[in-house]
Structure 1
Amino acid sequence: MSSKAVLDINDKPSAVQLVTLSLQHLFAMFGSTILVPTLVGLEPSIALLTSGIATIIFLLITQFKVPAYLGSSFAFISPIITVAGLDASGMAINPGNAMIGAMAVGVVYAIVALLIRMTGYKWLMALLPPIVVAPVIIVIGLGLAGTAVDMAMNVNGEYNGLHFSAALVTLFTAIIFNVYFKNILSAMPILLGLVVGYLYSLAIGIVNFAPVKEASWFALPKFLIPGVDYDFTITGTILLAMVPVVIVTISEHIGHQLVLGKVVNRNYVKDPGLDRSLLGDGLGTLVSALIGGPPKTTYGENIGVLAITRVYSVYVIFGAAVAAIIISFFGKAMAIISTIPVSVLGGISILLFGIIASSGLRMFVDNNVDFGNNRNMVIASVILVIGIGGAKVEFGSLVVSGMALAAIIGVLLNLILPGRDKTVEDFD
């Protein structure tokens, strides 16, 4: 049960409240939303623009009943790197591949939403129990651990103590804000860690301002339009690298809807329903990919802001979305973001990827998964080793590897092995 709301779902804030409270949500999601495209070689400006657009789509589909903000999804970092590739400068070589995969993800969301509308949601909960989802989440986090550490301490493949110090300052700043602060600052440790790490980098002289000098004040985000900026070619490898991640993201979506419902004292499984919220999430991802943005997901950071401030108004979320869209057209601001040293991004990634893995462990604990049961031990063990070990299966030019392969095998093992729990928690 939530505390009494300062502003409830449909309460209209004053002009001053709208601006200040919307910016609060913008700051909370900003660090994560721009970090994902930076890590996978896409443009931060298009990610910021599409986060605003996707959020507005989500609000429309959910009939302005769910105050959720949609930002860039961390679950797709590894699959995007796999299908798009990165050049020596860290930019995506074939970003169109990632967009095609993201569109497919959006379509799958829509199909699942339709099935839920027709048959209910319990089949989905049975298909994606914690024993499958939790180890896949751990694979996502630990699979990226090497990338985070390399970014933090290496420059051109060689250890650099100066850059590593910037990574550590960033990391410990984020930890301090996350652990020791209990107010609104605790809801945005990523942004604050990036800011302090950036200031430290300025002090030690590892920031290059050349991109800022060259950038114009206003600039269009770099759109990627299918058939215009890249050839729209759907391959099995792209689909099998990207689509299985919905095993995790749909579970994450359901979890967020349950937590958000508790915060604002609503039952979002009933009204507007998981079918609408999943459809909103999926259409947000689809539209984002159509213009060059990364896949989207509802953000826990913004749910944290709602819980702390007790301001649940959808007008505030809408205001944050509009602000994100406006800022994405400020060329100088986007250029400043591009000057953030890789080591600073690496420092914050150490925490973020670790938190992703730890959230998988927490799912085991929260759901009382019994590892004295050999069935559970086998499923978790196989998923972890296949996913982290980078196993792959090739069928001619078709390749299924890593996390995607682990997720598929996990679902199959859960369906095939005897002793599966047929009961599903009723959220109604």
Structure 2
Amino acid sequence: MAKAVLDIQDKPSNGKLLTLSLQHMFAMFGATILVPQLVGLSPAIALLTSGIATIVFILVTGFKVPAYLGSSFAFIIPIQVATQAGGIGSAMIGSLFVSLVYALVSLLIWRTGHRWIMRLLPPVVVGPVIMVIGLALAPTAVGMASTIQVDGESTYSFLHFSAAIVTLAAAVICIIFFKGLVSLMPVLIGIVTGYLYSAAIGIIDFSPVREADWFALPDFIVPGVHYEFQVTGTLLAVMVPIAIVTISEHIGHQLVLGRITDRNFIKDPGLHRSILGDGLGTFFSGLVGGPPKTTYGENIGVLALTKVFSIHVIFGAAVLAIVFSFLGKLMALIATIPQAVLGGISILLFGIIASSGLRMLVEHGIDFDKQRNLVIASVILVTGIGGAAIEISETFKIEGMALAAILGVLLNLLLPGKPEGNEAGEIE
């Protein structure tokens, strides 16, 4: 373990603090603003709530865990489904209930310890569900990359597809051929490169930027003001089960952070506190119209590279994100990013999500010669990607990713031969 340049409680000088905080903000920027653009939310509110959620997380964990919270990709399809069923307000209500699940899990871990949750969510369940998240989004990415709307119909456009190819190529080049910070920001660099190419071929309308104010309030979506607080069984069935995946992702990030910083965050400040901080971040985000939050691997990568673990730097990045969300012209500029550019970067991102699920299976040595593992993974993949649904009434429907996650947990609990050791994802 290399010695820290700045440990968790160390505070850099003001000049270094600004530079290091900007570095973290740019690392998460591309992915955080991509999610709201895919689900019809404001990039400004996503940026604002990422800063607020991160500050909440830092406070709840007692300034001990240097993690940044950004928009969660796991909720893209659930938010789209919830929005189609009952408007964007439904998705926001769903986010609030997801945060309630986090709070309940946090309470249970506090009272009973953490081992049971990894028994409930072993890699053989979580890995395939993560794969479903990425693969189910594949048609969305390809459609955005290669089609445009003409008279209300999707039409193939090679010009726009070329922008997607340039975006994708730039991101891939960053990952493969560069070292250091450049390799940790492929999303941002890919989007910027694709945007410049799109401007050169004339597919961007800059008039919204010229018309925008320098300072502007984000587009808040508040319950009781912008929508009625109405809860349905389908809404809960679509959104809440995804917490199975994001909580497992959270645990994984805490373990990785612990290895990087030479700490045991599972014990101190405790998994219950970090999960609660994550859940409260999602709660405050949903309360004002932002997407659900999760700890970001991009920022963990920055920590590993720089050996700067200072919580003050993460806090500074959160403050900068809040400030940037009120810059009207910047947000208007972001809104002009062509769908093709977003589609190009999404091809890579969604593929990486799917591949990370496969990576989890490999790293934990999941043996597919065991029929139990084969059955669980197969059912999850086909029901999730195929969009299988259980519809009990007009107000209660479980489908796609949510159904796949529930079936995976049930099969893991009911089938004989439960895994032990690494396959069970045990943590100390």
Q: TM-score, normalised by structure 2?
A: 0.97
- 2:96 equivalent in structure 1: 103
Query: How much has 1:243 moved relative to structure 2?
Result: 0.6
Q: 1:191 aligns with which of 188, 191, 194?
A: 188
CA distance in 1, matches of 2:255, 2:406: 25
CA distance in 1, matches of 2:178, 2:94: 39
- Residues 118 and 426 of structure 2 are in contact (CA less than 8 Å); yes or no, is this contact kept in structure 1? no
Residues 249-274 of structure 1: CA distance to partner in whole angstroms, max 9, x if unpaired? 01100000000111111111110010
- 2:415 equivalent in structure 1: 417
- 1:336 equivalent in structure 2: 333
- Match for 2:12: what amino acid? P
- 2:27 equivalent in structure 1: 28
What pairs up with 1:142-221 in 2 under 5 angstroms?
142-156=135-149, 157-221=154-218
CA distance in 2, matches of 1:169, 1:72: 25
- 1:56 equivalent in structure 2: 55
Q: 2:301 aligns with which of 298, 304, 310?
A: 304
- Gapped runs of 5+ residues in structure 1? 87-92
What pairs up with 1:126-145 in 2 under 5 angstroms?
126-145=119-138
- Match for 2:106: what amino acid? A
Residues 1:241 and 2:258 are matched in the alignment? no
CA distance in 2, matches of 1:150, 1:256: 31
CA distance in 2, matches of 1:179, 1:308: 16
- Match for 2:99: what amino acid? G
Residues 1:427 and 2:427 are matched in the alignment? yes
Residues 1:276 and 2:273 are matched in the alignment? yes
- Residues 119 and 426 of structure 2 are in contact (CA less than 8 Å); yes or no, is this contact kept in structure 1? no
Q: 1:230 aligns with which of 227, 231, 235?
A: 227
- 2:74 equivalent in structure 1: 75
- Residues 129 and 404 of structure 2 are in contact (CA less than 8 Å); yes or no, is this contact kept in structure 1? yes
CA distance in 2, matches of 1:173, 1:422: 42
CA distance in 1, matches of 2:94, 2:176: 36
- Match for 2:114: what amino acid? Y
Q: 1:117 aligns with which of 110, 113, 132?
A: 110
What pairs up with 1:369-380 in 2 under 5 angstroms?
369-380=366-377
CA distance in 1, matches of 2:224, 2:139: 35
- Compare 209-218 and 405-414 and name the one that shifted more: 209-218
Task: Classify the secondary structure of the residue corresponding to 2:223.
Answer: coil
CA distance in 2, matches of 1:254, 1:179: 28
CA distance in 2, matches of 1:196, 1:185: 13
CA RMSD of aligned residues (A): 1.0
CA distance in 2, matches of 1:5, 1:265: 9
- 1:257 equivalent in structure 2: 254
- 1:12 equivalent in structure 2: 11
Residues 341-399 of structure 1: CA distance to partner in whole angstroms, max 9, x if unpaired? 00000000000000000001111100111110111111111111101001111011111
CA distance in 1, matches of 2:262, 2:167: 36
- Match for 2:417: what amino acid? G
CA distance in 1, matches of 2:254, 2:210: 43
Task: Classify the secondary structure of the residue corresponding to 1:67.
Answer: coil
Residues 107-152 of structure 1: CA distance to partner in whole angstroms, max 9, x if unpaired? 1001000000000011100000111111111110000000000000
- 1:350 equivalent in structure 2: 347
- Gapped runs of 5+ residues in structure 2? none
Query: How much has 1:181 moved relative to structure 2?
Result: 1.2
Task: Classify the secondary structure of the residue corresponding to 1:297.
Answer: strand
Aligned length: 421
Query: How much has 1:97 moved relative to structure 2?
Result: 0.6
Query: How much has 1:214 moved relative to structure 2?
Result: 1.9
CA distance in 1, matches of 2:9, 2:414: 46
- 1:42 equivalent in structure 2: 41
CA distance in 2, matches of 1:394, 1:425: 33
CA distance in 1, matches of 2:53, 2:397: 30
Task: Classify the secondary structure of the residue corresponding to 1:411.
Answer: helix
CA distance in 2, matches of 1:417, 1:267: 33
Query: How much has 1:419 moved relative to structure 2?
Result: 1.0
CA distance in 1, matches of 2:366, 2:199: 47
Query: How much has 1:179 moved relative to structure 2?
Result: 1.5
Residues 80-105 of structure 1: CA distance to partner in whole angstroms, max 9, x if unpaired? 0000139xxxxxx8111110000001
- 1:90 equivalent in structure 2: none
Query: How much has 1:425 moved relative to structure 2?
Result: 5.4
Residues 1:291 and 2:288 are matched in the alignment? yes
- Match for 1:141: what amino acid? G
- 1:89 equivalent in structure 2: none
